[in-house]
Amino acid sequence: MERTSPKQVMRIVATGPVGAGKTTLIKTISEIDVVETDRAATDDSVLLKPNTTVAMDFGRITFGPNMAVHIYGTPGQERFSFMWDILVHRAHALMLLVPLHRPSDFFMASKMLRYLQFHASDVPLVVVGTHRDLPDAWPAEEVLPALGIEPDAGIPIFSVNATQTHEAVQVLIALIEQYQRLTQSHAKAG
Amino acid sequence: MAINYSAIQNVLQEFVTSVGNIQGASIMSPDGLALASSLPPGMEEDRVAAMSAAMLALGERIGRELSRGNIERILIEGDKGFAMVSGCTDDAVLIVLTDDKGKLGVLNLEVKQLIARLRPMLTFSKSQVA
């Protein structure tokens, strides 16, 4: 914990396949104008949406006087994996967004999960099923096996509509609590 | 007529071989897909494309935030040379790499001329897109 600074800054990184809703989620919860780097998509993602993030998104939300959450969104395509490296490296907590209505993306999501577990194994992680509101959305808990997550792995899963502030904030609060439990147990151990 | 990528490839190749101290040149879509390249061996075209697009997008965003107007280019200066990223057309981004002997003035001039050469080759009317 940064004891010297008056404000604690927690960095959360949101990642997941193209069109999972990373930019949308950040825009939903950020208090500031989100820093976006989207460009017209010319790959397959154009089938889902006209624009795609090519570097990162950045938003901020404050909880009380002492806590600021900085939330970063990665690009979804694997060719931008160098951005995952840059952002995940400094993250305090991670969100893996999975589009519940697109089973074809579950494999990509499981690959990203593998990546996160390898590069940031000690960082709190939640799985966030998105597009919950769509008729063909899978129940979130049924997605876990598809991602290769054991039921007893202790990874919390949420299902949200990323345009709904209260749903997105719930995920955020759960992640902050998980992070604080971890830092407190570290403090006790140390 | 469709865009002739092999002709663009030839222009890039010629640029790299004929201009002194240039090690590589590559063009990509603004969302980071490789279009044509002449790069040093061992440098992966797809990775260069994604990185260049990310750099330009982030540079443009920072330029906007800091009121720097239109961004002409992003420059990385290392002790082994320059990497310069410029917008080429609305649909294409250019990156040029020099070795450690490269001069910035020469690079600026050569990149300007290269863009002027590439621009008509990269432009096509939308109605001609299949």
pLDDT tens digits along A29-76: 999 999 999 999 999 999 999 999 999 999 999 988 888 999 999 999
Measured between alpha carbons, how far is A82 from B34 in angstroms, rounded to an integer? 16
- Its ipTM equals 0.85
Cβ of A54 within 8 Å of Cβ of B65? The answer is: no
**Close Cβ partners of A153 (under 8 Å, ≥ 6 residues apart):** none
Contact call for residues A18 and A77 (beta carbons, < 8 A):
yes
With 0-12 / 13-18 / 19 or more C-beta atoms within 10 angstroms meaning exposed / middle / buried, residue B116 is exposed
Question: From the CA of A11, how many Å to the nearest CA of chain B?
Answer: 19
pLDDT band of A151, cuts 50, 70, 90: confident
The distance of A80 to chain B (nearest Cα, Å) reads 6
Query: Measuring CA to CA, which residue among A76, A112, A183 is closest to residue B32?
Result: A76
A115: number of Cβ within 10 Å? 17
CB B48 within 8 A of CB B38: no
Q: Which of A38, A59, A34, A37 is nearest to A50 (CA)?
A: A38
Say whether pLDDT at A20 is over 90. yes
H helices within chain B, ranges in order?
Answer: 5-18, 45-65, 104-122
Task: Using DSSP, state whether A29 is helix, strand or coil.
Answer: helix
**Chain A positions with Cβ closer than 8 Å to B:** 35-43, 52, 54-56, 75, 77, 79-80, 82-83
Region B32-61 average pLDDT: 96
Q: What is the DSSP letter of B58?
A: H
Query: Whole-angstrom Cα distance, residue B34 to residue B7?
Result: 15
First-to-final CA distance of chain A: 12
Residue B28 β-bridge partners: B34, B93
Give the residue among A104, A132, A100, A98 at the shortest CA–CA distance from A116: A98
Is residue A28 helix, strand or coil? helix
**What is the tens place of the pLDDT at every residue in A84-101?**
999 999 999 999 999 999
pLDDT of residue A187: 84
Q: Can you give the pLDDT at residue A2?
A: 47
**What pTM, to 2 d.p., does this model score?**
0.89
Average pLDDT over all residues of chain A: 93
Query: Given a cut of 50, is residue B130 above it in pLDDT?
Result: no
Residue A160, CA distances (Å) to A41, A142, A168, B30 in order: 25, 15, 7, 31
A13 pLDDT more than 70: yes
- Give mean pLDDT, residues B35-55: 97
First CA to last CA across chain B, in angstroms? 10
Chain A closest CA to B61's CA: distance in Å? 7
Count chain A–chain B contacts defined by CB atoms under 8 A.
54
- Which residues of B touch chain A, with CB atoms under 8 Å apart? 29-33, 46-47, 49-51, 53-55, 57-58, 60-61, 65
